[in-house]
Homo-oligomer: A and B are copies of this chain.
Amino acid sequence: MSILVVGSVAFDSVETPFGKADEVLGGSGTYFSTSASFFTDVNLVAVVGEDFPTEHTDFLKSRNIDLSGLTTAAGKTFRWSGEYGYDLNEAKTLDTQLNVFAEFCPQLPQSYMDADYVFLANIDPELQLDVLKQVVRPKVVACDTMNFWIDGKREALIKTLKHVDILLINDGEVRQLADEANMVKAAHKVLAMGPKTLVVKRGEYGATMFTEHGVFSAPAYPLEDVYDPTGAGDTFAGGFMGYLASVRDHSDAAMRRAIIFGSVMASFNVEDFSLQRMKATG
């Protein structure tokens, strides 16, 4: 069962205490697609600029990711730069250049429209909803977002969330979205916004899933070498959704297993910059 994902394809510039990477392949759509491609077929919706090299599209194709929904527009590819301190759990964004994403109006290829599994990766919630509207009766809709949209496009985000089954965000984002410091109370406020399932990503501490029926927590695999946490959340989501789509099951038990698969993918990803580690896993 294939997955439709809309998200960013980008150039990232990242500095961590362990090294530096300049204008490397990144973006929420890229990390998600690559991770999910280990489990199932992926249809990617995104936009890049004329500066996006075939080297990167060749890599995505090599992972069997369908790029009919990847538009090339006049202008420059989305760029993000950030840095991490020794507490690798939180990125400090230095610069965001939306570039071609600023004017992006996604038009789904006909072949994408009957997707059963949809992932709205971290982009403008209005774009997320635009894409979702074009899909005919999806079975499972999952979604990610970040502080930038919770702050800046709260109304649009809340509108999108009404149509989302599974929200995957980190603990700070849960607290911010709910305006509540206690995680359990915050989770229940978020569940009241629409999603039936909330998966809280907690970096090195693992992930916790809240549903109306209860709570499930899984620790992360303790790593000796963490070089770059960029994309860990998207890679987690890719493993999570990729697994669900591959077994065509989104029961509570399947989602618990999916969290483990997501954790495994994320733990690989952070062991190197950009998508190097997943490339090496082949």
Contact = CB atoms under 8 A, between A and B. Distances in A.
Interface residues of A, number: 22
A217 B205 CA distance: 9
A182 B218 contact: no
A105 interface: no
A204 to B, nearest CB: 8
Interface in A191-246: 202, 204-206, 208, 215, 217-220, 222-226
Contact of A183 (B206, B215, B222): B222
Contacts of A222: 183-184, 187, 208, 215, 217
A208 B223 CA distance: 13
The prevalent SS among residues of A at the interface is loop
A182 B215 CA distance: 29
A182 B226 CA distance: 9
Contact of A184 (B183, B205, B224): B224
Contact of A185 (B205, B215, B224): B224
Nearest to A210: B222
A136 interface: no
A155 B115 CA distance: 64
Contacts of A184: 222-224
A146 to B, nearest CB: 21
A86 B172 CA distance: 13
A1 interface: no
A181 interface: yes
A40 B137 CA distance: 58
B224 A86 contact: no
A189 B226 CA distance: 18
25 contacts: A86-B181, A182-B223, A182-B224, A182-B225, A182-B226, A183-B204, A183-B222, A184-B222, A184-B223, A184-B224, A185-B224, A187-B222, A202-B205, A205-B205, A205-B206, A206-B217, A206-B219, A208-B219, A208-B222, A215-B222, A217-B219, A217-B220, A217-B222, A218-B219, A219-B219
Interface of A: 86, 181-185, 187, 202, 204-206, 208, 215, 217-220, 222-226
Q: Which 9 A-B pairs have the closest CB atoms?
A: A217-B219, A205-B205, A184-B224, A184-B222, A86-B181, A215-B222, A183-B222, A185-B224, A219-B219
Given A182-B224, A184-B222, 20 more contacts: A86-B181, A182-B223, A182-B225, A182-B226, A183-B204, A183-B222, A184-B224, A185-B224, A202-B205, A205-B205, A205-B206, A206-B217, A206-B219, A208-B222, A215-B222, A217-B219, A217-B220, A217-B222, A218-B219, A219-B219
